[in-house]
Amino acid sequence: MNNILKLSVLAFIILAGALFYFSNFALAGVCSYQNNYCSNNIENNYPSCTYHAYKDCAGNSVYWFNSCGNSQDLFQNCSGNNQICKYGQCSVYYNPAPAPVYTNHYQINCFDNSLYWYDSAGSIQNLYKNCADANPCTNDICSSSKCQNPLRCDGTTCTIGSQYYCNSCSSIGDNSCNCGETTATSPNDCKENITADLSVKFFSRKDINAISWDKVIQVGPNGNIYFLIIIKNNSTTTPVDNITVSVNIPSEISLLGNLKIDNVATAGDIVSGINISSLPANVSKTITFEGKTQTFTSSGDKQAIINISAGGITQSDSTTISLNPGQQAASVSSAPGASGFMEFSKRWYLWILVAVVLILLFIIIFRRLSSNI
């Protein structure tokens, strides 16, 4: 009986202890939120959990978590607008661009005045098209990834009047009678022989003070020669355009220049040719220039020849230069004393004038000084 009683008391003590333990364990997992803190009946044994301690992702949404790691309420849903939840916040998700794919014969660009293939890496490959065509009258270029062949009819590509020029260009108005043009089909290009109405005369003289001009003169070494050209348009209605004038002078004569047209000094070389432009109808134009004979020992007649051209047709005239080694250079006839004085006065007239002024001043000053004494 005593043993049964002892066993009963021991069983009751064990049962009471178990009930007490399990009751405290169950209450330990229950949170009661007070002032944003999670507390339980054993808070003296464990620290409290901080409310909304941090945010973290749960699925594709952001949730609050307390400091004990327990999930709390929803902060933000990351669905839509291509967003994902990452590191406790909604972030925009970008799809990575696909890696570039190498493409052969990717595009066509200009190189060396032709079109070439280029790959997707920008490297030149093989020829696509040569921009040069079969027409020599075109200016063949490559621009803006295209072949361009503009027609040029100004003579910079094909020759004016050539077969390609006549086939590709309009020859009317190019100031040249070509490509089968006639005076009837293109009167401006195929002008009639207007130079037939021009006349040219060539004269010379060895004395600048002589009144007349001659067709034949006789000169000696180191003598001056003066030339005169007269060009006249004998037409009463038609002007003559683009007249070129040139002369052939014997080698015994060197040109001194002094070129004048209608007595107006003009630049240019009469030997290589000058252009006197247009000559109106029934109008004359005079050209003068000077030369000087060199030292020579042989006598004979030489021709100085003038050539004029207009519209592709030339006309000429000449004057005869008779060379005489024994003839002295022409000089102005005058008394030796007078001639010497004139040459002296021409060279020294400024100094003579200054000397006269100084003498007069000296006389005036001397008289005043004399009167004061």
- Give the pLDDT confidence of 70-108 residue by residue, as tens digits: 889 988 888 777 788 888 888 887 777 777 888 899 999
Within its chain, how far is the Cα of 175 from the centroid?
A: 29
Residue 313 domain flag:
yes
Based on the structure, what is the number of domains in the chain?
2
Residue 364 domain flag:
no
Across 311-336, average pLDDT: 71
Task: Tell me, yes or no, whether 203 and 318 share the same domain.
Answer: yes
Across 245-261, average pLDDT: 88
Residue 356 domain flag:
no
Residue 257 domain flag:
yes
Token pair, residue 328, equals 């002295």
- Give the pLDDT confidence of 16-42 residue by residue, as tens digits: 666 655 555 444 444 544 444 444 443
Token pair, residue 193, equals 């022989």
Task: Tell me, yes or no, whether 202 and 88 share the same domain.
Answer: no
Residue 160 domain flag:
no
Task: Give CA–CA dist 64/83, Å, rounded.
Answer: 19
Q: Which of 311, 131, 186, 141 is nearest to 152 (CA)?
A: 141
Residue 334 domain flag:
no
Angle CA 137–140–180, to nearest 5: 10
Contacts of 111 (CB under 8 A, 6+ apart): 124, 142
- Boundary residue ending a domain (96, 115, 143): 96
Strands 37-39 and 49-50, by their bridges, are antiparallel
What is residue 296's three-state secondary structure? Answer: coil
pLDDT of 337 > 70? The answer is no
Per-residue confidence at 156, pLDDT binned at 50, 70, 90? confident
Query: What is the b/e burial string over 203-228, where b = at least 16 CB atoms within 10 angstroms of the residue's CB?
Result: bbbbbeeeeebeeebebbbebbbbbb
Q: CATH number of the domain at 200, please.
A: 2.60.40.740
- Give the pLDDT confidence of 324-336 residue by residue, as tens digits: 887 765 544 444 4
pLDDT of 176 > 80? The answer is no
Angle CA 132–135–141, to nearest 5: 35
Angle CA 206–212–214, to nearest 5: 60
Token pair, residue 318, equals 């000449």
- Boundary residue ending a domain (81, 96, 111): 96
Residue 169 domain flag:
no
- Boundary residue ending a domain (96, 113, 129): 96
Task: Give CA–CA dist 117/105, Å, rounded.
Answer: 5
Strands 300-310 and 274-275, by their bridges, are unpaired
Residue 259 domain flag:
yes
pTM metric for this prediction = 0.41
Q: Around Cβ 114, how many Cβ atoms within 10 Å?
A: 16
For residue 82, the enclosing domain spans: 31-96
- Give me the chain's average pLDDT, please: 79
Task: Give CA–CA dist 226/312, Å, rounded.
Answer: 29
Across 319-348, average pLDDT: 62
Angle CA 212–216–219, to nearest 5: 95
